């Protein structure tokens, strides 16, 4: 568990994570509204050389071009749909050549890659507790 006291610390956590990322990586970020999911994605993007990461809530996904591109998806609007997996597939994401960060990424997103980081942000109070679960062979030995 990682304690995060400020938005700057959440951004820095994203920066730290970005140093270990490569094409094909999938990161699922979950937590309540206002937990810092987008700030974490901004830190990841910044570490990849991308400085214009904003929440894709209304457009669902954004592709950020860089040496290592980042796809940023907000699946919030897909959660209550009849078939979120179908809508996610319709986005036609280039998962193999990009780092993909999915906010509100549940089981429909987890099926996209057996190897992934699942990040949960608990903001029961003003201090966020961040849990990172490294899943799959790609992440064997993962440590920050």
Q: Which two tokens stand for residue 127?
A: 């201090």
Q: What is the pLDDT of residue 124?
A: 85
For the chain, which domains are there? 24-138 (3.40.50.300)
Residue 37 near residue 103 (C-beta atoms within 8 A) = yes
SS3 108: helix
Half-sphere exposure for 118 (CA within 13 Å, toward CB): 14
> pLDDT tens across 73-130, in order?
887 666 555 555 545 555 667 778 889 998 887 777 787 889 999 999 998 887 899 9
Q: What angle do CA 120, 14, 126 make, to 5 degrees?
A: 55
Query: In this predicted structure, what is the pLDDT of residue 55?
Result: 75
| pLDDT score for 4 | 94
Please give the share of the chain, as a percent, with pLDDT higher than 70: 84
Which token pair is 11?
């951004």
Q: Per residue in 96-114, is it b (16+ CB within 10 Å) or e — as a string? A: eebbbbbbbbbebbeebbe
Comparing CA positions, the residue from 62, 58, 63, 96 lying closest to residue 78 is: 58
Q: What is the pLDDT of residues 22-65, one digit of tens each?
A: 999 999 999 988 899 999 999 999 999 998 887 766 556 777 78
CB 13 within 8 A of CB 43: yes
């Amino acid at each position: 568990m990682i304690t995060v006291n400020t938005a700057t610390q959440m951004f820095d956590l994203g920066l730290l994570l970005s140093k270990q990322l490569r094409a094909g990586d999938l990161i699922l970020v979950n937590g309540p509204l206002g937990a810092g999911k987008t700030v974490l994605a901004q830190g990841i993007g910044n570490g990849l050389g991308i400085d214009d990461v904003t929440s894709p809530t209304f457009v669902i996904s954004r592709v950020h071009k860089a040496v290592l591109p980042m796809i940023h998806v907000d699946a919030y609007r897909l959660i209550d749909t009849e078939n979120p997996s179908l809508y996610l597939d319709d986005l036609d994401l280039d998962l193999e050549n990009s780092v993909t960060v999915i906010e509100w990424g549940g089981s429909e997103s987890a099926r996209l890659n057996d190897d992934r980081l699942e990040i949960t942000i608990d903001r029961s109070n003003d201090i966020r507790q961040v849990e990172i679960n490294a899943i799959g062979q790609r992440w064997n030995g993962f440590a920050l």
